[in-house]
Structure 1
Amino acid sequence: MENGFFDKVEDNAAVRIWAETTQQEKGDSLTEGYVSELLDFTRVSVTQNNLQEMKEIWAQWDDEAKRLFYCHYGDLPYLLDVKIDERLFRALVQYWNSAYSYFTFGKVDLVPTIEEYTALIRCPKIQVDRIYSKAANGPAFSKRLMNITGMSEQWVTARIKQKGDCRCIPWRHLRDLILAHPDMKKRVDVFALSIYGLVIFPKALGHIDEAVSDIFDRLSKGTTPLLLSWFHSHFWKVEKVSYRVFSENYSPLKELAATPRRDDITEENWTAILQNLQEEDVEWRAPWMVPDEILYRCGDFDWVPLLGVWGAVGYAPLLVLRQYRSRQFTPPTYGLVQCEFVFTGNNYKRRVRKISNAWNQTRRMKKFAANPMATPEYDQWRI
């Protein structure tokens, strides 16, 4: 619908019939020989930015400044203290890339859901029913930085650098602004931008990428940016760490940052653990997430297409209904992986517009909990 936002809630049984019929008629997603554009375009590195200066700045802020940050950007500062296990991260990347298995562990399908990330960050600006959409003809990088920092065009332009195939602004310039800007709200904004650029979407060490400034500038339009935080929430039995149930004032990121992590597990052992995970090792539902309805489809897509910082992916909540504590049935998957594309070339803008328009018609499904947690049809399809 071009003139308004349409959100429809449907009965679980009706969606199940539609999903199973669609899957039978169209077939599966992955075609033989398919190679994702994103595999060549994106690079995952375990090399981290040095966050010590950011931690020190945060520690020096008074309670009023911290409350201002929490009010606008949620629990992002706790990410500064989340310990990254490089051996686990390398094992995850190797495991998924080797079999194009994404978040499939043996017979267990799991993905980070929009609702889980939203609950993790607890950011008031994030809305599940809205997505980040890369502007086809948005403001220039310098204009976005001027808007975020409150600095002049001359100041911004002089500090933009070219790093490889992307334009960036060095962190040291943003650090100086955070320390000296006369407007406390601008200090908060620039600090949040730095977390997005150095922690959540790092690309060039010590720099904030142009694409990150775009997603940050449009944050009020809704985006859900934490992989390892999500991982530990679902595989807590691996390290025998449990989490408290959700409450309004509970911060899962705060607890995660304060939880000791084992550092004696080698990359080879992590790989063996991932390959041998069983259903009993999995916490299906993130303890802090209590959804009543499930966003499962947008527009004419049989799933939920997502626009990211550097590309788009197909996201299918119906593949992981057990994460919502809902009965798992056969999902429609035809064309799902082909929904992936990078933001390069002349054709991507048309595809971006199609996805953005699809989000004007979202479809939700009511939860349905029953034993067994998977239908016979799903078990047969999964094999």
Structure 2
Amino acid sequence: MKLEKGESLTKGYTSDLWDFTCIKVTQNNLRELKEICSQWDDEVRQLFYCNYGNLSYLLDINVDEHLCRALAQFWNSAYSYFTFGEVDMVPTVEEYTALLRCLRIQMDKVYSRAANVLTFTKKLAKIIGMSEQWVTARIKQKGENKCIPWKSLRGQILAHPDTKKKVDVFTLSIYGLIIFPKALGHIDEAVTDLLDQLDRRVTPVPVILAETFRSLSACRRMGEGRFIGCA
């Protein structure tokens, strides 16, 4: 394709890499999530692992901000891969599967956002196990997105009488605060749609990989921005 079309898929576009890209790698404070996880007994840990894989280990990974900024310099947004001199490298589904440690939940079903889905309020109420009135009172608007504050979910993880619901809300928090951190301290609406489908044993890996590509490409095109994804 490169030999046939040149250095871009878009006619007239030159995929020269900028000399510098300002990328912000700002993380949520994960201390409370770590404390909750450390208090679980073996039974709860096993339930979490069977349903969602070993995502909790992401809580202990220290993000190298300098490495993230350096990698962004080599991201080719025209082809969605890294270019190191004459060598092209692209993250793969297999690598992200290993990174996320969710081997046991991988099936032939891949997540896709359905055309007709429940409202944010109904999906969140279903996941948390609370009333729609309770959820509606806590939903916030962050820019163009609807979110729920992490502090509202924290209480449900600690006090909910249903262990399965505790695990579900904890997983929702990991996806919202670590993997798809759209608004700091809040869980984005799109994450609830993904978690709602995880119960049907879909694999989230392709959509996480695609979001990484989208975020890196957006930062490259603008020459600046905040990296949104599992850094």
User: For the superposition of Structure 1 and Structure 2, which TM-score range results when normalised by the shorter chain?
Assistant: 0.7 to 0.9
Tell me which amino acid in the other structure corresponds to 2:105.
Answer: K
2:52 to 65, 70, 73: 73
| Larger of the two Rg values belongs to structure | 1
Map 1:12-51 onto structure 2 (within 5 A): 27=5, 30-34=9-13, 45-51=24-30
Per-residue Cα deviation, 1:154-175 (whole angstroms, up to 9, x for no partner): 1111111101110000000111
State the percentage of identical aligned residues: 62
CA distance in 2, matches of 1:171, 1:44: 25
CA distance in 2, matches of 1:60, 1:91: 37
Counterpart residue number, 2:204: 224
1:85 to 64, 72, 90: 64
Which of the two has greater helix per residue? Answer: 2
Counterpart residue number, 2:162: 183
Q: Tell me, which stretches of 5 or more residues in structure 2 are unaligned?
A: 15-21, 218-231
Tell me which amino acid in the other structure corresponds to 1:171.
Answer: W
1:120 deviation in Å?
A: 3.0
2:144 to 142, 165, 169: 165
1:195 to 174, 177, 194: 174
Task: Kindly report the root-mean-square deviation, in angstroms, between the aligned alpha carbons of the 2 structures.
Answer: 3.2
1:310 deviation in Å?
A: 8.9
2:93 to 114, 120, 124: 114
1:86 deviation in Å?
A: 1.0
Map 1:102-141 onto structure 2 (within 5 A): 102-123=81-102, 124-127=104-107, 129-141=108-120
Per-residue Cα deviation, 1:15-37 (whole angstroms, up to 9, x for no partner): xxxxxxxx5997566224459xx
Counterpart residue number, 1:373: none
CA distance in 1, matches of 2:110, 2:80: 25
Runs of 4 or more off by more than 4 Å in structure 1? 23-29, 97-101, 306-314
- Cα pair 1:132 1:308 within 8 Å, conserved: no
CA distance in 1, matches of 2:2, 2:77: 28
CA distance in 2, matches of 1:145, 1:30: 40
CA distance in 2, matches of 1:191, 1:85: 25
Tell me which amino acid in the other structure corresponds to 2:82.
Answer: F
Q: Does 1:210 align with 2:196?
A: no
Map 1:244-323 onto structure 2 (within 5 A): none
Cα 1:209–1:310 change in 2 (3 A) is farther
- Cα pair 2:74 2:84 within 8 Å, conserved: no
Counterpart residue number, 1:329: none
CA distance in 1, matches of 2:184, 2:149: 9
- Cα pair 2:9 2:79 within 8 Å, conserved: no
The number of equivalent residue pairs is 206
CA distance in 2, matches of 1:24, 1:34: 13
Report the TM-score, using the length of structure 1 for normalisation.
Answer: 0.48
CA distance in 1, matches of 2:138, 2:158: 17
Tell me which amino acid in the other structure corresponds to 1:125.
Answer: I
Per-residue Cα deviation, 1:183-208 (whole angstroms, up to 9, x for no partner): 01100000001000000110100000
1:73 deviation in Å?
A: 0.9
Tell me which amino acid in the other structure corresponds to 1:126.
Answer: Q
Per-residue Cα deviation, 1:225-252 (whole angstroms, up to 9, x for no partner): 4xxxxxxxxxxxxxxxxxxxxxxxxxxx
Q: Tell me, which stretches of 5 or more residues in structure 1 are unaligned?
A: 1-22, 36-42, 226-305, 315-336, 338-383
